[in-house]
Amino acid sequence: MTIERVSFVAGACGEWRIQSVTAITGAGLPVATHLKRQEGGEPEDGATWTLRGVRSHQRYTQRPEAATLMARQAGLDRHDASHGALLPIVKSEAWWHLAQDDRRAIFEETSHHIAIGTEYLPMIARRLYHGRDLGEPFDFLTWFEYAPAHSAAFAELLSRLRATEEWRYVVREIDIRVVRS
Ligand code: HEM
């Protein structure tokens, strides 16, 4: 997979209008009116805040899971997916000190992240970006797009994931909701 850079730029313009910025765990972010998701290139100056990440290889997904995801998932930029959510996330040092196989066990065998998430495909389109190795403030930038009719499903997905063992390692999470402007 190509390592593609992304910048989420909050400011006065952008294709998404920000509806809410909610600190779920830890500190929030300043309020802005618009958000731009820019893959590649360098964002312009003058933003209220900019969060950066890269698309990267998969750490935990096993082959049958990858095949199921490929078969079911929808791409971004669907015409009817007028709602979006950016959830920047930081996991604790305890998480990062675990061995890879222990992290996988918590992520899937105990928390069923992929199994739960797959239930919401193709309704919810998703993209995961990594920020930790860039020295960014967030380990992950998670991005979702969905139709208004699937807002309740997205809320249910969030509450199921936040109740898992995996989320006990989440020390900062912000829930930024947007609609296409
Ligand atoms: C739409 C349904 C979802 C599906 C199908 C899904 C699937 C996945 C998969 C397959 C991975 C593992 C990638 C890898 O192997 O490295 C992953 C990672 C991740 N997902 Fe989800 N996910 C979904 C929803 C969510 C939601 C709603 C959130 C945030 C609230 C979220 C946050 C994360 C995070 C932070 C990671 C990185 C975990 C880590 O590397 O420690 N996911 N997801």
Give 42-82 pLDDT, tens digit per residue. 888 889 999 999 999 999 999 999 999 999 999 999 999 99
- pLDDT tens-digit map of 95-136: 999 999 999 999 999 999 999 999 999 999 999 999 999 999
Q: Is the CB of 82 under 6 A from ligand 1?
A: no
Region 142-171 average pLDDT: 98
E-strand spans in the chain? 5-11, 16-25, 34-39, 49-54, 83-91, 125-130, 140-146, 170-180
Q: Is the CB of 176 under 6 A from ligand 1?
A: no
Instruction: Kindly give the distance from the C-alpha atom of residue 31 to the centroid of ligand 1, in angstroms, as a whole number.
Output: 25
Which tokens belong to 39?
Answer: 């893959």
Nearest CA to ligand 1 atom 31: 142
Instruction: Kindly give the distance from the C-alpha atom of residue 126 to the centroid of ligand 1, in angstroms, as a whole number.
Output: 8
